[in-house]
Amino acid sequence: MENTNTANKPKLEEAGALWKRVSKSGTTYLNGTVKTKDGQEIKLLIFSNSNKTDGSNQPDYRVYFDNPIGSNAGSETPKAAKSNKSDEIPF
């Protein structure tokens, strides 16, 4: 018999939120923020890995800082990520 008691399940702590976006060039990506344990918010961009080959050990997605340390204040998409053309992100 399966245990359906939710009291035994670990409580998940929310780390942040992501939104699905489409760039002007048609690339689908996620952007949002995550919070560190000390409360600092980190802005992220997540793109599908367009260089992945079937059967490889490469990651499905690449994560970038939206405003990398030492960059200009504007939130520009990283050059490597701009060229990614991908299918819908499945989540």
- Tally of structural domains, the chain: 1
Q: Tell me which of 73 and 58 has the higher pLDDT.
A: 58
pLDDT recorded at residue 5 = 59
As a residue count, the chain comes to 91
User: pLDDT category, 15, cuts 50, 70, 90?
Assistant: very high
In a domain, 39, yes or no: yes
| Residue 42 lies in domain | 15-68+76-82
In a domain, 19, yes or no: yes
Q: What stretches of 8-84 adopt beta strand conformation (E)?
A: 16-22, 28-35, 41-48, 61-65
Q: Tell me which of 73 and 23 has the higher pLDDT.
A: 23
